[in-house]
Amino acid sequence: MRRLSLALLTSAVVMLAAARPAQAQATDPPEKLTLEACGDTRAAVEFPHKAHFEANECTTCHHSQEDLTLEAAQGGMEVETCASCHLEPEEADTPACTEKSLKKNPFHINCVSCHKDAKAEDESLSAPTKCAECHPKPESEEEEPGG
């Protein structure tokens, strides 16, 4: 009886595994991402990934993945997060995302400079360049109207 139960269980597991695709394939880039791995004192950043994807090549931000394209990601290529290299950099000259400085934090270096350049070309863009525009204050810290 035990052998029959084990055989049935094994068969069920094999059938379920065969019914599932080996790896879920991405169809589109995510609409938004929450960048929170590097933060400790400021609010997480809600990053409009799809808008950036539509305006840039993947390698603009994923600069260490020279062959990254939407098609490559859909084909199973792993997409590295910013934190995978910048949270605890292996190289001394790689900027750490835990830095607060505009000259040391990779998000501040790349994102803010890109946004400033884009706004210089088109003043109508809403590309944030100030701290609170990316790191909103928690509701409890916001001032009351008239206060």
- Rounded to two decimals, what is the model's pTM? 0.67
Residue 142 lies in a domain: no
User: Does residue 40 carry a pLDDT above 60?
Assistant: yes
Task: pLDDT band for 29, please (50, 70, 90 cuts).
Answer: confident
Mean pLDDT (whole number) for 15-39: 62
Residue 102 lies in a domain: yes
Task: pLDDT band for 47, please (50, 70, 90 cuts).
Answer: very high
37 Cβ contact list (under 8 Å, min separation 6):
81, 82, 83, 87, 97
Q: How many domains does the chain have?
A: 1
CATH number at residue 73: 3.90.10.10
Residue 122 lies in a domain: yes
Residue 83 or residue 41, greater confidence: 83
Residue 97 lies in a domain: yes
Q: Residue 28: its pLDDT value, please?
A: 78
Q: Residue 141: its pLDDT value, please?
A: 52
Residue 77 lies in a domain: yes
Residue 143 lies in a domain: no
Q: What percent of the chain shows pLDDT beyond 70?
A: 76
Please give the C-alpha separations between residue 122 and each of 37, 79, 82, 106, 116, in angstroms, as whole numbers.
Answer: 31, 30, 27, 24, 10
Residue 14 or residue 37, greater confidence: 37
Residue 7 lies in a domain: no
Residue 50, domain extent: 33-137
